[in-house]
Structure 1
Amino acid sequence: MCFLSFFFLSFFSFLNFIFMVYFIMNNLIIFLEWELISFNSMSVVMSILFDWMSLLFMMFVSMISSVVIYYSKSYMNSEINLIRFIILVLLFVFSMILLIISPNIISILLGWDGLGLVSYCLVIYYQNLKSYNAGMLTALSNRIGDVLILMVISWMLNYGSWNYIFYLNFMKNDFIMSFISIMIIMAAMTKSAQIPFSSWLPAAMAAPTPVSALVHSSTLVTAGVYLLIRFNILILNTFFIKVLLLLSMLTMFMAGISANYEYDLKKIIALSTLSQLGLMMSILSMGFPDLAFFHLLTHAMFKALLFMCAGVIIHMMNNIQDIRYMGGVSMYLPLTCLCLNFSNMALCGIPFLAGFYSKDLILEMVSFSNLNMFVFFFYYISTGLTMYYTIRLLMYMMINDSNMMSVYNLYDEDYIMLKSMFMLLFMSLISGSFVSWMIFYYPYMIYLPLNLKMMVIYVSLLGGLLGFMISKMGVNSVSKFMLTYNMSNFLCCMWFLPSLSTYGSNYYFLSFGQNLLKVVDLGWSEMYSGQGILVILKKYSIFYNIFHMNNMKIYLFSFIIWMMIIMYMLFMNM
């Protein structure tokens, strides 16, 4: 099953690559529409849009998912229900592909909701209380976006069709239709985990590591960014776009700060994903959808590789995820650490790796744009924080002394995992330049003063130096050097967003829903609708059953007999 899925998805990825090159060279867009059901004046129509963007994104999604499924063959080999796991991952990929090729808001909802439901099944895959809570938080956060998409569907009835792709130019000139853009932006914020919906993304780390590699690179979390890229003509005219810019920058900053206080390996990488999502959303809200899409693709490659390397290390270390228990790992797992270092350097934007081409371009466009100093500083501080937590992670895992338990079994000879990682390593090296040559018709040449041009290098070096210094200090000296305990607790816990979203809103909403269910649905409503009608119908059905069984003549016959007996006895007495 694993090999078959790997082969099919690899072949599908290769086909998408061939078609994508053809579409870019000939500037083609194909819109397919066929009628599924036609009944009188009603017709149910399925639409598909093929252009260079959808084909390129499908190529990346199928390539990463094929590698992740091949990786799962070794990572999940002790799993009893491996086939069920592979089917869930394939359903997840299918939902994402449906979302990518949909020019119709109804089919977008199918893919969107499919991603939410299958992600719930994958997050609660390991059946324990922590996974269940994380799954509920993920599902409920994503349901907000589903409801907003449903509201967009009902609002688009004003245009007589749900093929939004044809109406974007009309809608942007209509003030009333700006409600659609606000709903789309908020739906994308829930799926891409922007503030105040950020808490579900680190919680979703309860899923198996191959799922994390797929979810946090190219599928679930990027669905919101992709939706805004498709709606970019509409959203740029609304006032809410400035709010999105502010919230996405705060998300980027908050995730970078929290990653520096985190000790769980998978959560550090998840917070790094959150930071990069904030980067994509913010550059999108500034009016550069091509740059956001470019960074989305390059980020997908090295983030999937990063999760897979983390999965190998966790697997070998007997499921320990705390980086304080690690150290000196590069001596025992050299090839895995090679892949981990390359993916981390690509994340930091080291020149000529995948992340450099997109990240450097985005930061230079920010320097070039007519924006205030607040935005400028947030971008560069967040870039420095990325280097900061990356160096800290490498120090704890590879350079510091070994803090492992006395009995451990580290070996770098799991060739299935290594082969899958080396496939992504190759793509992490070349995908930046490869994609930039494909999607930009002419090279972006941005002329800036020398200090602004070198600003990315400056903040990266400064962030790396700080990360090195802090990781060499002890715990007490760090708390003295950095902040007080209360402040560090606030920054470590993602500005208390998990507590607010879990114990605050979700608790009250769910308890209110439970009371509503008890009083209305199972109370008055049940008495006067479902249950009441059932009791009445049951009584009437017993009465009607007498006629149905044709027992009336028996009763009449017995009645006549009894009357005759009574009359006979009366006459005899007379």
Structure 2
Amino acid sequence: MCFLSFISLLFCSIVCFFFGLNMLLYNYSFFIEWEVVNLNSTGIFMTFLWDWMSLLFMSFVLLISSMVIYYSKEYMSEDYNINRFIMLVLMFVLSMMLLIISPNLISILLGWDGLGLVSYCLVIYFQNVKSFSAGMLTALSNRIGDVALLLAIAWMLNYGSWNYIFYLEMMKTDLEMMVIGSLVVLAAMTKSAQIPFSSWLPAAMAAPTPVSALVHSSTLVTAGVYLLIRFNILIEGTFITFVLLLLACLTMFMSGLGANFEFDLKKIIALSTLSQLGLMMSILSMGFPKLAFFHLLTHALFKALLFMSAGAIIHNMSNSQDIRFMGSLVVHMPLTVTCMSVANLALCGMPFLAGFYSKDMILEMVSMSYVNFFVFFLFFFSTGLTVMYSFRLVYYSLTGTLNCSSMHYLSDEGWVMLRGMMVLMFMSVLGGSMLNWLIFPSPSVIVLPMNLKMLTLFVCILGGLMGYLISNVSFYFVNKSLNMYLISYFSGSMWFMPYISTYGIINYPLNIGKLSYKGMDQGWSEYLGGQMIYYLLMNYSKFYQSFQNNNLKFYLMTFILWFVIFLIWGMI
């Protein structure tokens, strides 16, 4: 089943890519309406939008999912239920397909909810308490976005149809459309894990690594960004974009800072995904949807590769994810480490790799745009943090000495996993330049002074140097100091967001419930309700019982009483 799914998805990916290329070059799109059922002159239609954007994105999602399924053949080989796993992944991909090609809020909700439901099933795939908790946090966080979309559907009733694509340009100044835009932004923020909904994304790392490679590169977390790219006309220039810009920049900064204090390999990569999502959201809110889409595609390639490389390392390390137990992997696993290094350098924005074309253009457009100093600082500082945690990861895992047990057999023997990774490595090297020529056929003219032009390079070099220094032994005493511990605890816990969204939300209602249960259910309501009725009935029944036990005495007493009364009455 693995091989059949892999071949089908790869073939569909190639077909979608060439169709998308054709539409991009000739600038046309298809809008298809399919009448599902017609009852008493009332038609139910399914609508699909095929344009260059949806087809290119679909081809990338299908390519990555095909490689992930091929990779899973070896990674999940010991799982008895591998067919069930493949079916879940295929359902996940189909939900994403439905979301990509839908110009209709109802069918978007179907794909959106499909992603949420299947992601829950995948996060709890390894059935333990941690996975169940992470799955519940993921599902409930995403439910907020689902409710926002349902409300947007209700507001769309003002226009007589849910095909939003007909109304965006004409009705964008309407109050109803502004409300719909705000609800769509809220939904996108929950799905793409922006502050304050960020805590579910690192928690979703409880899923198997192939799922993480798919979820965190091109499917679940990018659904929100893609939705906002489609609704960009609606929110452009409104107040909501300023709020989104601020929150996205803070998300980018928070996740970059947190990744520098993390030791779990998958969590570091998850936080880097969060950082890149913040970058996409922020450039989108500044009014550059094409640029956000460009970075969405390039990021999908190298992030999937990074997760797959990490998965190969974890697989070889007997499922150990702590980077402190790694080291000298470049000697033992040269091919895997090569793939990981290419993905890491693409993430950092190394010239002429996939990430460089999109990240460099984003930062240069920010330098040209009318933004305040705070946003400008967050953009460049977060870029430095990205290089910082990447170099820290390289320092801990690839160099130095091997810190794990000498019984570990580390090798590059997993050729099935390596083949899947090598295809994505090839795309991570060439994908950026190819997409740059396709999406931006005429290059953007960016005129900047020399210091701003070199600022990106300077920030990257400085970030790499700092990443090396904080990992080095010479900084050991700094890491051990109390202040550093408090900073690392605050930053590493994502500014206490997981506590706020779990313990913080549940603690007070549970305490109030405990008090009300003690005071009401077992207190006054018990005293005035069940117990009170019980005691009253019991006392009355005792009284009546005593009455019945002394029946003859009562008759005699009443007889004498009445006799005396009549006697007295007669004497009077």
Report the TM-score, using the length of structure 2 for normalisation: 0.88
Aligned amino acid, residue 131 of structure 2? S
In the alignment, the residues of structure 2 paired with residue 427 and residue 27 of structure 1 have an alpha-carbon distance, to the nearest angstrom, of: 25
Provide the identity percentage. Answer: 63
Q: 1:437 to 1:510 in 2, by over 3 A?
A: farther
Q: 1:485 deviation in Å?
A: 2.4
Residue correspondence of structure 1 range 329-478 to structure 2 within 5 A: 329-473=329-473, 476-478=476-478
User: Shift of the alpha carbon at 1:238?
Assistant: 2.5
Q: Which has the larger radius of gyration?
A: 2
Who is 1:178 aligned against? 178
* Corresponding residue number in structure 1 for 2:190: 190
Aligned letter for 1:153? I
**2:170 aligns to what SS in structure 1?**
helix
Residues 511 and 445 of structure 1, relative CA distance in 2, 3 Å threshold:
farther
How big is the shift at 1:237? Answer: 3.9
Preserved CA contact (<8 Å) 2:120 2:139? yes
Say whether the 8 Å CA contact 1:169–1:233 is kept in structure 2: yes
For 2:106, the equivalent position in structure 1 comes to: 106
Q: Secondary structure at the match of 1:221?
A: helix
Secondary structure of 1:494's partner? coil
Matches within 5 A, 1:258-297: 258-297=258-297
**CA-to-aligned-CA distance 1:214-262 (integer Å, 9 cap, x gap):** 0000000000000000000001143111110000000000000000000
Residues 3 and 475 of structure 1: is their aligned pair in 2 closer, same or farther, counting only changes over 3 Å? Answer: same
CA distance in 2, matches of 1:190, 1:514: 31
> Using the alignment, how far apart are the partners of 1:271 and 1:506 within structure 2?
25
Q: Quick one: structure 1 residues 214 and 513, their matched pair in 2 at CA, closer, same or farther if it must change by over 3 Å?
A: farther
- Whichever residue aligns with residue 206 of structure 2, its letter is A
Residue 505 of structure 1 deviates from its aligned partner by: 2.1
Cα distance change of structure 1 residues 332 and 239 upon mapping to structure 2, 3 Å threshold:
same
Supply the distance in 2 between the matched residues of 1:386 and 1:17 (Cα, whole angstroms): 30
Deviating 4+ runs (over 6 angstroms): 509-516
Matched with 2:485 is 485
Kept in 2: contact 1:6–1:69 (CA 8 A): yes
- The answer on whether the counterparts of 2:155 and 2:176 sit within 8 Å (CA) in structure 1 is no
1:46-72 superposed Cα distances (whole Å, 9 cap, x missing partner): 000000000000000000000000000
SS at match of 1:172: coil
Cα separation, 2, equivalents of 1:318 and 1:477: 32
TM-fit CA distance, 1:449 = 0.7
1:33 match: 33
Q: How far apart, in 1, do the equivalents of 2:13 and 2:348 lie?
A: 27
User: What is the number of equivalent residue pairs in this alignment?
Assistant: 517
8 A Cα contact 1:181 1:238, kept in partner? no
1:123–1:208 CA contact under 8 A, matched in 2: yes
For residue 45 of structure 1, give the secondary structure of its aligned residue in structure 2. strand
User: Aligned pair in 2 of structure 1 residues 514, 314: CA closer, same or farther (>3 Å)?
Assistant: farther
Task: Determine helix, strand or coil for the equivalent of 2:37.
Answer: strand
State the alpha-carbon separation in 2 of the partners of residues 253 and 32 from structure 1.
42
Kindly provide the CA deviation profile for residues 310-329 of structure 1, in whole angstroms up to 9, marking residues without a partner as x: 00000000110000011111
Q: Tell whether the 8 Å contact from 1:295 to 1:355 is kept in structure 2 after alignment.
A: yes
CA deviation after TM superposition for structure 1 residue 305, in Å: 0.3
Give, in angstroms, the shift of residue 41 of structure 1.
4.0
In structure 2, C-alpha distance between the alignment counterparts of 1:430 and 1:234, rounded to whole Å: 34
Give the CA deviation at 1:173: 1.4
Are 2:9 and 1:9 aligned?
Answer: yes
Contact 2:469 2:475 in 1 (8 A): no
RMSD: 1.8
Partner of 2:116: 116
Deviation track 1:396-431 (CA, whole Å, cap 9, x = no partner) reads 001122211131111101110110000000000000
The residue aligned with 2:556 is none
Relative distance call for 1:197 and 1:510 in structure 2 (3 A) is: farther
| Partner of residue 309, structure 1 | 309
Unaligned runs of 5+ residues in structure 2 are 521-572
Distance 2:357 2:515 in 1: 54
Deviation track 1:193-222 (CA, whole Å, cap 9, x = no partner) reads: 000000000000000000000000000000
3-state SS, counterpart of residue 263 of structure 1: coil
Residues 410-456 of structure 1 show CA distances to partners (whole Å, capped at 9, x for unaligned) of 11011101100000000000000111111113112311111100111
Question: Is the 8 Å Cα contact of residues 171 and 178 (structure 1) preserved in structure 2?
Answer: no
Counterparts of 1:92-241 in structure 2, within 5 Å, are 92-241=92-241
TM-score by length of 1: 0.88
Give the equivalent residue in structure 1 for 2:73.
73
C-alpha displacement at 1:22, in angstroms?
1.3
Q: Which letter maps to 1:358? A: S
